[in-house]
Amino acid sequence: MKYVVHPLKLALVLILLLGACSGPRQQTLRGLIDQVENSFVPDSRVDQFNVQVSGGSPFLLSGETTNAEAKQALLDSLAEANISYTDSIKVLPSAEIGEKIYGVVNNSVSNIRSEPRHSAQLATQALLGMPLQVLKKDGGWYYVRTPEDYLSWIDSGGMHQMNEAEYLEWKSAEKLIYLDTYGFAYSSPSKSSEKVSDLAAGNILKLEGSNGSYYRVSYPDGREGYIPKNEATPFANWNNDLQATRESLVQTAHSMMGIPYLWGGTSTKGVDCSGFTKTIYLMNGLIIPRDASQQVHAGTRVDDEKNWDQLQAGDLLFFGSPATENRSRRVVHVGMWIGNNQFIHSSRQVRISSVDSTASNYDAYNTGRYLESRRYLGNTEGNVIRTNDMYDDILFP
């Protein structure tokens, strides 16, 4: 991210620091910290800037951030204002992680939670084989960044930590992607053998070879198993041959019909509304932002007035409440247009609804709170990456 300071905001705070307010000096310093956070870390789901101030002459700055440029902007501003300080702000990854700042998801679906405990809210999920950046540790939990930049906590059983050499070996190895909605890996090339694990669509494993009608694979932690060839394909072949089209997006969406709604879910075991649209695009070679309120900032807007004839299959529809004088706009739901005045979405379960008031599946509630639609195919501006770039230096510049 380019180092940019908002001049008007910074000038205002510097005036306050230099004595143009009657509040305590520590309080005005807190204001500067807040301004830097607002400028550099506007979304706490993808970056953190938790800085505290105490004492005085010099002030003690403590806390942590995932954004080194935000920290430097704060220190530069303090120096310009002749404010003395002691810097104890940590930039993640934490030193206690050591060299193993790389992680690869080790279960078919790993739950990633908002806090480091199993009873915490499910924030999102990550699929087997996906890379993670490991930032810090709390007991048996790790604070990680996912490929779509989401920050949350995963338990130690959900991923396998690696150092740089181990990660580069995993990254360069030939891989396999699982394509069926749900299945298993077996201990030998037979469905009658013991299961090694379950599998979900989008799982990625290391391809070790083949045995008859089975692929031989290995997991990030070294376990080995066998997967029927008619349920998976080499990742490189899939990725190179993949052409995301309106038709393929609709086909993928239909394959998930009836999957139950799960808050925080992003897999074929259960999905929330944005987890569903994220999974549709993932299985078509694109990694899009996690939440509906983030997805609405990617792609290109194609409608905001219910001109349904302007939409194409694969466009995402966003729902919520518009901005008012006292409240900003809230995007709280998302679905995907499939044509014929219908959209598919996860609400109770994955289902199809219509914007046509004469249709039997007319969704008056969501049609009434419609905000806009955006197109991703051919218009992927924003935080959208291709799956073939997932193992490149996106997480680890």
**Tens-place pLDDT, residues 215-234:** 999 999 999 999 999 999 99
Percent of residues, the chain, with pLDDT higher than 90: 80
pLDDT, tens only, 278-318: 999 999 988 899 999 999 999 999 999 999 999 999 999 99
Rounded Cα distance, 198 and 112, in Å: 18
Residue 383 pLDDT more than 70?
no
Across 75-79, 111-115, 246-250, 322-326, least confident range? 75-79
Mean pLDDT of the chain: 90
Q: What local confidence, expressed as pLDDT, does residue 382 receive?
A: 64
pLDDT at 19: 42
Pick the catalytic residue: 21, 160, 254, 273? 273
pLDDT over threshold 70, residue 25:
no
The pLDDT of residue 396: 53
pLDDT at 392: 65
Predicted confidence (pLDDT) at residue 36 exceeds the cutoff of 50: yes
Q: How confident is the model at residue 21 (pLDDT cuts 50, 70, 90)?
A: very low
For residues 122 and 143, give the distance between their C-alpha atoms in angstroms, rounded to a whole number: 14
Between these two residues, 7 and 129, which has the higher pLDDT value?
A: 129
pLDDT for the residue 6: 52
pLDDT, residue 78, reads: 87
Our answer to whether residue 6 is catalytic in this structure is: no
pLDDT band of residue 361 (cuts 50, 70, 90) is very high
Going by C-alpha positions, the residue among 392, 366, 391, 385 that lies closest to residue 298 is 385
Whole-angstrom Cα distance, residue 103 to residue 145? Answer: 10
Predicted local confidence at residue 394, as pLDDT: 45
CA distance 62 to 370: 43
| Residue positions counted in the chain | 397
- Of 232, 235, 358, 375, nearest to 302 (Cα)? 375
Q: How far is CA 155 from the centre of its chain?
A: 17
Residue 345 annotated in active site: yes
The CA-based angle 270-391-286, given to 5 degrees, is: 50
The region of weakest confidence among 60-74, 88-102, 250-264, 371-385 is 371-385
Residue 23: pLDDT over 70: no
Q: What is the pLDDT of residues 112-168, one digit of tens each?
A: 999 999 999 999 999 999 999 999 999 999 999 998 889 999 999 999 999 999 999
Structure tokens at 374: 């955006």
CA dist., res. 360 & res. 268, Å (int): 27
Q: Is 47 helix (H, G, I), strand (E, B) or coil?
A: coil
Selection from 94, 108, 216, 227 nearest residue 159 by Cα:
108
Looking at per-residue pLDDT, the higher value among 109 and 31 belongs to 109
